[in-house]
Structure 1
């Protein structure tokens, strides 16, 4: 899944194969929750937390149906904080939070303790 350290490590390995040095890479964390199958679509961080009841401090997964056969995956605060440590350990230039132009994928207000931005800023 895109929100795991393993996936981030693969992306960094691919970047290094192209000649990029870690100190020139910024690890970007999307404010999106993606369904495990295409027909589920996607939601922003704020929507997955407020409208769908995802735990911002959890593991970044929430069932998409009552049968729990499909899921939404997102960067929870825990997953985001893990990426801070990964960025430090790998000597990356930094870390960022990524929204979108249509403003579908947005965070809660940064002052909210449930906000992803708040969690990242509090742990840098």
Structure 2
């Protein structure tokens, strides 16, 4: 696949793909004219890289994890690192869930004390005024 095809299929820019190559996260072969050509698994790999970035990992951490993610073969050190990253993500999820629950509580309390905070009541009032 050419760079534009991979970028479109993975939902990233061609600049991102070039950056991933610079970081050693993605490889391509060059045609005689210098065009990048990627293997069939490039889109899946780019999506995985994106997911790891979204989880807060940096390119150095991702570079260390990708070999074991794709081959299923990992050293004890890689397994320890993967487990630590999973635990970090679990902690983020717990924190975000707690924050969402607090926001829900604030929203509910605000609506109970002030009916004007309820957008549906506000819309009904505005509709009957016209």
* TM-score interval, normalised by the smaller of the two chains: under 0.3
State TM-score, norm by structure 2.
Answer: 0.23
Give 1 or 2 for the bigger CA radius of gyration: 2
State TM-score, norm by structure 1.
Answer: 0.24
Give 1 or 2: higher helix fraction.
2
Give 1 or 2: higher strand fraction.
1
